[in-house]
Amino acid sequence: MAAKDEPVIIKKYANRRLYNTGTSTYVTLEDLATMVKRGEDFTVQDAKSGDDITHSVLTQIIFELENKDGQNMLPIPFLRQLIAFYGDQMQMIVPSFLEQSMLAFSKEQERFREQMKDAIGKSPMDMMKMPTPMKALEEQTRRNMEMFQNAMRMFTAFPAGAAPQQADPQPRKETAERGDDLQELKDQIAAMQRKLDTLS
């Protein structure tokens, strides 16, 4: 049995069965999804090699959930953009950006729950004065997308492998423009860092 602070070990066997060593029972992907929703920490190990395969199992859970009727959360444009980032120069920054965005979203969700608790017992007029949860959610999503787009611009301003342009008859002007572009990028990076700091 795992200690309270340690994640539960789930063993995956060659026959694809999952065994929860904490409860000494076989579990399904649906059971693991329920554990995630309850905030229970676990790692999945290959029973034979002992390799950590948590990432692939969690991805499989998302795949299963996305294929259930009426449960699609990942829009097609997002999936296309995500696929496009694999092997791209942006690949390294995407995981931490998505993680920060989800943390910020979770904090907003907690705030909405508190607002809803406070709203119980208020008069209809008081309820009308409160910002609607959907409007606040939309605003948070808009801010996250804005940050993401700014990050994309920073890393795609100079495409990888782009051929240098022919020498300009006015090299001083070109150098000044490049300096302005570089300063603009630095300002965007600083702005993004400040936004990330406020979210954490």
Q: How confident is the model at residue 165 (pLDDT cuts 50, 70, 90)?
A: very low
What residues contact residue 132 under an 8 Å CB cut-off, 6+ apart? none
Residue 24: CB atoms within 10 A of its CB come to 8
Query: Is pLDDT of 169 > 90?
Result: no
Q: In the prediction, which pLDDT does 44 show?
A: 97
pLDDT per position as a tens digit, 110-131: 777 776 676 665 555 555 555 5
More confident residue, 5 or 8: 8
Query: Is pLDDT of 102 > 60?
Result: yes
4-8, 64-68, 83-87, 174-178: segment of lowest average pLDDT? 174-178
Report angle CA 54, 74, 96 to the nearest 5 degrees.
Answer: 55
Query: Is pLDDT of 31 > 50?
Result: yes
| Joined tokens for residue 159 | 């495409």
The average confidence (pLDDT) of the chain is 76
Mean pLDDT for the stretch of residues 159-170: 46
99-105, long-range: CB < 8 A, 24+ apart? 100/196, 100/199, 100/200, 101/144, 101/147, 101/148, 103/199, 103/200, 104/140, 104/144, 104/199, 105/140, 105/144
Q: How confident is the model at residue 163 (pLDDT cuts 50, 70, 90)?
A: very low
Nearest to 48 by CA among 15, 24, 86: 15
Q: In the prediction, which pLDDT does 164 show?
A: 42
Report angle CA 119, 122, 126 to the nearest 5 degrees.
Answer: 90
Mean pLDDT for the stretch of residues 182-189: 69
Tell me the pTM: 0.57
Q: In the prediction, which pLDDT does 125 show?
A: 59
Q: In the prediction, which pLDDT does 100 show?
A: 86
Q: How confident is the model at residue 158 (pLDDT cuts 50, 70, 90)?
A: very low
